[in-house]
Structure formats: structure tokens, C-alpha cells
Amino acid sequence: MVRILSASFAVTCSLLLLASASTASAAQGGYVATPAKAPAKSSFIVRDRLWKCDDAGACAGPKSTGNQNTACALAAQRLGTLTAFHVEGRPFDEAALARCNERAS
């Protein structure tokens, strides 16, 4: 019984680490938007790119060749007001985030 519980625990921990690693890898090579309210859906499309949201509410999408300000505004349109937006791990400053949130409705 103890072996089964230990194995189950190990598998659960591995899956959690894998999920964290995929969000971290998306943050390194793409966009991460953190909405003020938890998103209604776990994924959505911005133009032709799939964004996925984790259990904490952060949503990650692949970096596009377009303008990062436009990507932020499009994410805000889908998610509502954002409390943070990161491009390749770098956060938007307060002024850029405020401009981005102007498009949220």
C-alpha cells in the first residue's frame, strides 16, 4: 500500500513539475498575460496563435512576429484587464500595461 501511494505521489509531482516547466518555457519564448479575474476558458485563440491558461490564471502564448503592444491589447480584449504582461520573461512597465488595458472591454 505504501509503495502504491509513493508511486502515485511521484507521478503527481512529476506532472506538476511538467506543467510548471511548460508555463516557464512559454514565458521565456513568448507572451504571458495575467488577468485581474480568472479566465472563463483554459485556452483561446489570438489571431492564429493558441494561448493556454494555467490553474493560477496566467495565460501564455507563443511570440509572434507582430508588435508586442498589439499582442497585449488582443490578450486584454479576450481576458479583460491585465495585472501583468510579459514578453520573453520581461514585464511591461506600468505605462505600457495601462495602454494595453485601454483595449480591454
pLDDT of 99 reads 94
User: All 3 cell numbers of residue 7?
Assistant: 508511486
pLDDT of 12 reads 43
| Mean per-residue pLDDT over the chain, rounded | 80
Give the pLDDT confidence of 42-78 residue by residue, as tens digits. Answer: 999 988 899 999 998 899 999 988 899 999 999 999 9
Distance CA 58, CA 26 (A): 11
What does each C-alpha distance from 4 to 14, 82, 87, 93 come to in angstroms?
A: 15, 43, 42, 48
HSE at residue 65, side-chain half, CA atoms within 13 A, is 0
% of the chain surpassing 70 pLDDT: 72
pLDDT of 47 reads 87
pTM for the predicted model, two decimal places:
0.71
